[in-house]
A and B are shown apart, each in its own frame.
Chain A
Amino acid sequence: MPRRWGVLVVEDDSRARAFFEASVQRSPRLFWLGSAGTVQEARSWLAATATIPDVLLVDLGMPDGTGLDVIRDAVARFPGCEPLVVSVFGDEENVLASIEAGAVGYIHKDAAPEDIAQTIVEMKAGASPISPMIARRVLAKYRSLQAAVPGTAGAAPAETALDETDRGLLSAREHEVLTLIARGFSYAEIARLKGLSVHTVQTHIKNLYGKLAVHSKSEAVFEATRLGLLSHPG
């Protein structure tokens, strides 16, 4: 019997809460931990809970603040907790902000109930969704960071792959995968094109999420690293 994942939902709309609860209850792989209607409530729950939540579903627009705070709080308290953002549109700004706060993915509010449970289970198994629009944004950010480090701008990605992992930037493979995603290819198509397994592709994306979170969390450390690089180009 595989492990069942405990789910906490932070959502101010009671109908949506009921919908998520129903979705979770219906899945044999998940169990319902509870729900919170405000940021305050959610943080109190996190402070008081005896059960570590495996999955956090967070709506960003809360009446008393932003769901990003709940994500940061949960990740800080429980490193094993994986937050997912509930988004109507899956639009770039909100998703990127959530990822930088520590979210590992997002689900669409209009998804079918079974799809929601499915997404959560897949996420726990190592999958991470990413849209071509977000991939494009991440690539653009990567390019601007590269431009800011002149010494590495001309270097071939394969040669500097190891260094770039250390720096919190993209590896050559991640870059390749991201580029294909931005061009509209599905994970399965990328796996076929590059001779990888779908799981490997998903792992790359999930690693990427982690890097984005680390990057935003320690901007100062990143800057120091970048300055260090400036004095040791190549």
Chain B
Amino acid sequence: MLRRLAFLCLLGLAALLSAGGAAAGETQGPIELRHARVTTTIDGVVQTEAVDLSYHWDRRHRGRTGFASFELPFRVETLPEVPWGVFIPRAGSVFEVQLNGALLQSYGDLGQGNRADYAKAPVYVPVPGRLLKEGENLLQIRIRADSERRAGLSRVTIGPATPVRTALFEGAYAWRFTGSVLLTAFSLIVGSIALALWFTQVDTGATGRRQRDALYFWAAVAEFCWALRVADAMIPEPPLPWQLWGVLMAGCYAGWAASAMMFCYHLADWAQSPRTRWVRWPTAAVVVGTVVFTWLALNREEPRWLTAWLAVEITIVLGFVAAFAVATVRRPSVERLLVAGAALVTVAFGTRDWLVIRLSDAYGETTWVRYSSVMFGVALLLIVLRRFHFASVQARGWVKTLADRVAQRERELASTYAELEEVARDQARTHERERILRDMHDGVGSHISSAIRQLQSGQTSPEELLRTLRDSLDQLKLSIDSIHLPPGDIGALLAALRYRLEPRLAAADIAFEWGVDELPPVTQLDAHATRQLQFLLFEAISNVLQHAHASALRIEADARDGAVRLRVIDNGVGFDATEVPEALSKRAAAIGARLAIESRPGRTVVQLVFD
């Protein structure tokens, strides 16, 4: 059917061309040579027959090897003034072209089988003008056909280089050869990207084991297999004998198909479940079966075995793709939909290729799968792009979450800090209250209660009562001064004490002497101890006022060798220095001061030393 249709088309074309030639009458157009006389030699048996081209060797001779010589007569009306050439879309495996008995060009060595294969790309052979004759000419093409290599001869066109070379040959060459270069380059790029991703994208999963994504690995294997398979179209003389090279190429094709299936297998998460893990084995069978059957077909020269196996293979792949499509429909995602679409198209193309290449007599056709394979590469690139986009979105989300958490922590810290500060303030207030209460108890309170006792006893003199009340008021003033007294600043303490008590000393006619040097702060005295020292000194001076009958009182303070020394000296009657007043000794011990008292009539010294 297809052949008949093509024939009708060509008939129309020929009619058109001859009509054009007749009308113009100047130059002859291209001549398509559709009929030939072929002489075949298979295992020494020679046969001659007339055939219509194309001539598909494997179909006619069931994959046997042999030789054929095609004679293609044509007629030239007038010798052309422009250069001519022969365009042969497909001929192989190796062949030579002769015109009127002269060799124009040879492609490969006719003496050697299963090596070179020039059927992969179309050829154009220029025709030297002197070889053409007016009237009948004869184009002769001799081929050596290898088994299973799509040997044979397509229709041949001879005519002026324009349009034979420029239109027919260059268009076909671009499709077959340049297309292969681009496809190979694309597959290599995608494969390299996938391999780089497989190497670099290492996940440390929940188990702590470093894991690479098998998806990338299989994508890389698929693309590399495919690159090699497509590159074959650019290698007319492969480095291996055809039996091995053919197996390798078929293996690459099967390897590509199997790797693409493994890619789907991981994309569908079939590796996660033991129920679906068996799906790997049919994919392995695809590779093994293809290698085995190709080997058998090539070595036994039995193309039908491979054709049959390819049918089985297509069935396996079809089943797999159908399962993947169902899985995709059940749990759709953009990634799976993309790949499922590519897989379905590829399976359809593969089936078409099988029908056309393996079953039909069509010669000169190329596979379609080589184009649909690009869709896998594109799908993989889209998947990677989507993953990286998702990863960056996720990373941004994490950064934001982290920032939120840090802010939250900061707020918590701030509130905790505020609470702690509040507690500290409460504590400070409590301490302050305790200090004031203690002050009132020890100072004013005790003086007022003793004033009350004095009044109640009825035996006290107004002078004594006045002194008690003055003591009370002085204590209160000292207490207020002590609020602002820097802890440990004995100089400030003494200055305030003098300011408060000097009027009373003056009133008692006691001369006051001041011998206070500049003093370093005494670090061992805190606020409470400073206040205790104030009490202690008040007590000492009070004793002089009440009991000593002194006429002079001197306060001395100096700092020597890191020790601060305080002395209260009077010239009164003195007292028994062995009986130190308890109020003094207790307080001195409490604030860590060494107390020393010496007393004799006329000189009493109360000394405190802070080491």
Contact = CB atoms under 8 A, between A and B. Distances in A.
Interface string B458-484: 000000000000100100110011001
A89 B476 contact: yes
Contact of B514 (A110, A133, A136, A186): A186
A132 interface: yes
B484 A183 contact: no
A132 B499 contact: yes
A183 B477 contact: no
Interface in B123-172: none
B80 interface: no
Contacts of A40: none
Given A137-B484, A183-B518, A189-B514, A110 B499 contact: no
Contact of B516 (A92, A133, A137, A183): A183
A133 B496 contact: yes
A80 interface: no
Interface stretch (B281-289, B328-336, B487-495): B487-495
A41 B480 CA distance: 31
**B-side interface mostly:** helix
B484 A132 contact: no
A131 interface: yes
B484 A184 contact: no
A189 B399 CA distance: 72
B480 A184 contact: no
A229 B62 CA distance: 112
A132 B476 contact: no
B110 to A, nearest CB: 104
A218 to B, nearest CB: 27
A182 interface: yes
B477 A184 contact: no
B498 interface: yes
Contact of A184 (B470, B473, B476, B514): B514
Contact of B499 (A133, A137, A189): A133
A198 to B, nearest CB: 16
A105 interface: no
Nearest to B476: A89
B558 to A, nearest CB: 13
B491 A184 contact: yes
A185 B514 contact: yes
Nearest to A90: B477
Given A89-B477, A90-B477, A110-B473, A182 B495 contact: yes
B458 to A, nearest CB: 25
Interface in B487-519: 491-492, 494-496, 498-499, 502, 514, 516, 518
Residue from B473, B481, B495 with most neighbouring chain A CB atoms (10 Å)? B495
B481 A133 contact: yes
A136 B481 CA distance: 12
B492 A132 contact: yes
A183 B491 contact: yes
B501 to A, nearest CB: 11
Contacts of B502: 186
A184 B498 contact: yes
Contacts of A184: 491, 494-496, 498-499, 514, 516
A181 B514 CA distance: 12
Contacts of B499: 131-133, 184
A91 interface: yes
A45 to B, nearest CB: 31
A60 B547 CA distance: 38
Contacts of A133: 481, 484, 492, 495-496, 499
A91 B480 contact: yes
Nearest to A109: B473
Contacts of A92: 484
A56 B591 CA distance: 45
Nearest to B516: A184
Size bracket of the A interface: 10 to 19
Contact of B495 (A90, A110, A183): A183
Nearest to B507: A112
A181 B50 CA distance: 140
B551 to A, nearest CB: 18
B514 A131 contact: no
Interface string A103-140: 00000001000000000000000000001110011000
B492 A136 contact: yes
Interface in B564-599: none
Interface string A164-186: 00000000000000000111111
B495 A132 contact: yes
A136 B502 CA distance: 19
Interface string B395-419: 0000000000000000000000000
A90 B503 CA distance: 14
A89 B477 CA distance: 6
Nearest to B474: A110
Contacts of B477: 89-91
A89 B495 CA distance: 16
B451 to A, nearest CB: 15
B484 A182 contact: no
Interface string A88-102: 011110000000000
A189 B473 CA distance: 27
Contact of A131 (B473, B494, B496): B496
Contacts of B494: 184
A186 B495 CA distance: 10
Contacts of B470: 110
Contacts of A137: 484
B503 to A, nearest CB: 8
Interface in B366-419: none
Nearest to B470: A110
A89 B473 CA distance: 9
A184 B513 CA distance: 11
Residue from A132, A136, A137, A184 with most neighbouring chain B CB atoms (10 Å)? A184
A133 B470 CA distance: 21
Contacts of B480: 89, 91
A133 B491 CA distance: 11
A91 B484 CA distance: 10
A90 B498 CA distance: 14
Contact of A182 (B473, B481, B492): B492
Contacts of A185: 514
Nearest to B497: A184
Contacts of A132: 492, 495-496, 498-499
Nearest to A189: B514
Contacts of B484: 92, 133, 137
Contacts of A89: 476-477, 480
Nearest to B498: A184
B517 to A, nearest CB: 9
Interface in B424-470: 470
A131 B514 CA distance: 16
B197 to A, nearest CB: 62
11 contacts: A89-B477, A110-B470, A132-B492, A132-B495, A133-B492, A133-B495, A136-B492, A137-B484, A181-B495, A186-B514, A189-B514
Given A110-B470, A133-B492, 18 more contacts: A89-B476, A91-B480, A92-B484, A110-B473, A132-B496, A132-B498, A132-B499, A133-B481, A133-B495, A136-B492, A183-B495, A183-B516, A183-B518, A184-B491, A184-B494, A184-B498, A184-B514, A186-B502
A-B pairs, top 5 by smallest CB distance, nearest first, are A184-B495, A132-B495, A184-B498, A91-B480, A89-B480
